[in-house]
Structure 1
Amino acid sequence: MAPTTLKVSNRSPKKPIKKLPSSIEITDKTTVQDVKNQLAKQMGGMDPNRLGIFDTKNKILKDRLSLVSQNQEVMAGKEILVKDLGLQISWLTVFIIEYAGPIFIHLSFLLTRRYIYHDYSPLSPSQKLSMAMIVLHFIKREYETLFVHKFSLTTMPFRNIFKNSAHYWIFSGINMAYWIYSPNSYAARTSSTVNYVDAAGLVIYVFGELSNLHTHLTLSRLRSRNGTERGIPKGYGFNLVTCPNYLFELIAWTGMLLVSKSLSTVIFIILGWAQMHQWAIKKEKAYRAEFPETYKKKKYVLLPSPGAVIKALVG
Structure 2
Amino acid sequence: MRLTVDKRPSASRATGSPTKAAPSQFPFVVEVPATATVADLKLAIAKQAGAPQPDRQRLTAGEKKAVLEAGDALDKYGLKDGDTVFVKDLGPQLGWQTVFYIEYAGPLVFHYLVYNFQNLFYGQTFEHSALQQRAYLLIMGHFIKRELETAFVHRFSHGTMPLFNVFKNSGHYHLLSGLNLAYWIYSPATAQGTALAAQLGCPLLLSAFTGIFLFAELSNLSTHITLRNLRPPGSRVRRIPRGYGFGLVSFPNYTFEIIAWAAVAGMTRSVAALLFLVVASAQMYLWATKKHAQYKREFPDYPRARKAIFPFIA
* Aligned residue number for residue 118 of structure 2: 113
Select which of 138, 163, 168 maps to 1:158.
163
Following superposition, the deviation at residue 233 of structure 1 comes to: 0.7
Whether the 8 Å contact between 2:176 and 2:276 is mirrored in structure 1 is yes
The 1:76–1:271 alpha-carbon spacing in structure 2 relative to 1, beyond 3 Å, is farther
8 Å CA contact 2:216–2:257 kept in 1: the answer is: yes
> In 2, Cα distance between the equivalents of 1:69 and 1:301?
30
Task: Choose the corresponding residue for 2:310, options 276, 284, 303.
Answer: 303
Identity of aligned residues (%): 39
Q: Does residue 91 of structure 2 align to residue 91 of structure 1?
A: no
Q: CA deviation at 1:222?
A: 0.8
Amino acid of the structure 2 residue aligned with 1:33: A
1:109 Cα deviation (Å)? 1.6
1:40, 1:48 within 8 Å by CA — same for their partners in 2?
Answer: yes
**Cα offset, 1:115, TM superposition:** 2.5
Alpha-carbon distance between aligned partners in 1 of 2:127 and 2:24, rounded to the nearest angstrom: 61
Give the C-alpha shift of residue 25 in structure 1.
0.5
Which one-letter code corresponds to 2:101 in the other structure?
I
Aligned to 2:108: 103
- Residue matched to 1:251: 259
Deviation at 1:303, TM superposition (A): 1.6
The whole-number CA distance in structure 2 between the counterparts of 1:89 and 1:213 is: 25
What TM-score, normalized by structure 1, do the two folds share? Answer: 0.88
Residue 281 of structure 1: aligned partner: 289
Give 2:71's match in structure 1, choosing from 47, 62, 65.
65
Instruction: Select the residue among 6, 11, 16 that pairs with 2:8.
Output: 11
In 1, distance between residues paired with 2:55 and 2:83? 23
| Aligned residues of 1:20 and 1:39 also touching (Cα < 8 A) | no
SS at match of 1:82: strand
Residue 273 of structure 1 and its aligned partner are, at CA, apart by 1.0
181-190 vs 229-238, greater mean Cα deviation: 181-190
Residue of 164, 171, 174 corresponding to 2:176: 171
- Contact 1:28 1:67 survives alignment (8 Å): no
Whole-Å Cα distance in 1 between the matches of residues 51 and 302 of structure 2? 42
**Paired position in structure 2 for 1:122:** 127
Q: Deviations over 1:227-259 (max 9, x none)?
A: 111001111111111211111111111222233
CA RMSD of aligned residues (A): 2.5
Q: Provide closer, same or farther for how the CA distance between residues 248 and 24 of structure 1 changes in structure 2, counting only shifts above 3 A.
A: same
The Cα shift of 1:66 comes to 1.8
2:222 is the counterpart of 1:217: no
| Separation in 2, partners of 1:54, 1:296 | 30
* CA–CA separation in structure 2 for the residues paired with 1:88 and 1:71: 26
- Contact (CA 8 Å) 1:201, 1:254: kept in 2 or not? no
Change in CA separation of 1:266 and 1:75 when aligned onto 2, cut-off 3 Å: same
**Aligned residues of 2:231 and 2:238 also touching (Cα < 8 A):** yes
CA distance in 1, matches of 2:9, 2:112: 46
Match in the other structure for 2:19: none
Give distance in 2, aligned partners of 1:174 and 1:242. Answer: 32
